Structure 1
Amino acid sequence: MKSFTGRTLAGLAAVGAAGVGFGVLLMLVRFHFTPLYTFDQGVAEWLNEQIAPHHPLVTVLQAVSSLGGRPIMIWLVGAAVVGLFIRRQPRLAIYLIVTGIGALLLDPSLKLLVGRLRPIVEVPVLHAPGNSFPSGHALGSMVVYGALLLVFLPALGRRSRGFAAALVATVVVAVGFTRIALGVHFVSDVLGGWLVGVAWLGVTAYAFRLWRREAGRPLPPITEGLEPEAGREVVPAPDEHHVLPHPWVAAAELLTGWALIFGALVGFGMLVSYHLKGTFVATLDTVPEWMARHRTPALNELSWYWSKAGDTHAILFVALIACPLMLAMWRRWRPVLFLVLTMFGELSLFLATARAVDRPRPPVEHLDGKLPTAAFPSGHIAATMCLYVAIAVLVFPRTNRWWRWVTVAAAIVMPLGVALSRMYRGMHHPSDVAGAALLTLMLISLLWWVVRPNADRAPDELPPPDAPQPARTAPAEPGPAVSAQAVPADRATVEAGRSR
Structure 2
Amino acid sequence: MTAGPAMAPRHEVRVLSRWARWPAIGIAALPFCLLAASLGTGMVAALDRAILLALRDAGGNPLGPWWLVVAARDVTSLGSVTVLILLALAAIAYCLTSGARREAGVIAAAFFGGVILNTALKHLVARARPDLVNHEVTVYTPSFPSAHAMLTATLFLVLGALAAAGQSSPLARGFVLATAVCAVVVVGVSRVFLGVHWPSDVLAGWSAGTAWALVCLRLLAHRPATA
Same fold (TM over 0.5): yes
Q: Do residues 118 (structure 1) and 126 (structure 2) align?
A: no
Structure 1 partner of 2:178: 166
Alpha-carbon deviations, 1:66-106, whole Å to 9, x = none? 11111211111101111111111111111111111111111
The 1:124/1:89 distance shift into structure 2, 3 A limit, reads closer
Other structure's SS at 1:68 match: coil
Structure 1 partner of 2:6: none
Deviation at 1:153, TM superposition (A): 2.5
Other structure's SS at 1:116 match: coil
Question: Which residue, out of 186, 201, 209, partners 1:197?
Answer: 209
Deviation at 1:8, TM superposition (A): 6.2
Structure 2 partner of 1:20: 30
Distance 2:93 2:211 in 1: 26
Structure 1 partner of 2:11: none
Contact 2:164/2:174 (8 A) holds in 1: no
The 1:162/1:40 distance shift into structure 2, 3 A limit, reads same
Alpha-carbon deviations, 1:431-473, whole Å to 9, x = none? xxxxxxxxxxxxxxxxxxxxxxxxxxxxxxxxxxxxxxxxxxx
Question: Which residue, out of 132, 141, 147, partners 2:143?
Answer: 132
Alpha-carbon deviations, 1:88-136, whole Å to 9, x = none? 1111111111111111111111010111001113443222111100010
Deviation at 1:172, TM superposition (A): 0.8
Structure 1 partner of 2:52: 44
The 1:37/1:154 distance shift into structure 2, 3 A limit, reads closer
Deviation at 1:19, TM superposition (A): 2.3
Specify the code of the residue in structure 2 equivalent to 1:11. R
The 1:135/1:52 distance shift into structure 2, 3 A limit, reads same
Structure 2 partner of 1:476: none
- Structure 1 runs (4+) deviating above 6 angstroms are 7-10
Question: Which residue, out of 82, 100, 119, partners 1:71?
Answer: 82
Deviation at 1:193, TM superposition (A): 0.3
Structure 1 partner of 2:119: 108
Aligned-residue sequence identity (percent) comes to 29
The 1:96/1:120 distance shift into structure 2, 3 A limit, reads same
Specify the code of the residue in structure 2 equivalent to 1:43. I
Distance 1:101 1:202 in 2: 15
Deviation at 1:35, TM superposition (A): 1.5
Question: Which residue, out of 80, 97, 103, partners 1:92?
Answer: 103
Specify the code of the residue in structure 2 equivalent to 1:15. I
Distance 1:25 1:177 in 2: 17
Structure 1 partner of 2:5: none
Specify the code of the residue in structure 1 equivalent to 2:158. A
Alpha-carbon deviations, 1:208-253, whole Å to 9, x = none? 222x13xxx25xxxxxxxxxx8xxxxxxxxxxxxxxxxxxxxxxxx
Specify the code of the residue in structure 2 equivalent to 1:63. D
Contact 1:137/1:175 (8 A) holds in 2: yes
Distance 1:104 1:200 in 2: 11
Structure 2 partner of 1:59: 70
Structure with larger Rg: 1
Specify the code of the residue in structure 2 equivalent to 1:18. A
Structure 2 partner of 1:141: 152
Relative to the length of structure 2, the TM-score reads: 0.84
Unmatched 5+ stretches in structure 1: 219-228, 230-500
Relative to the length of structure 1, the TM-score reads: 0.40
Unmatched 5+ stretches in structure 2: 1-13
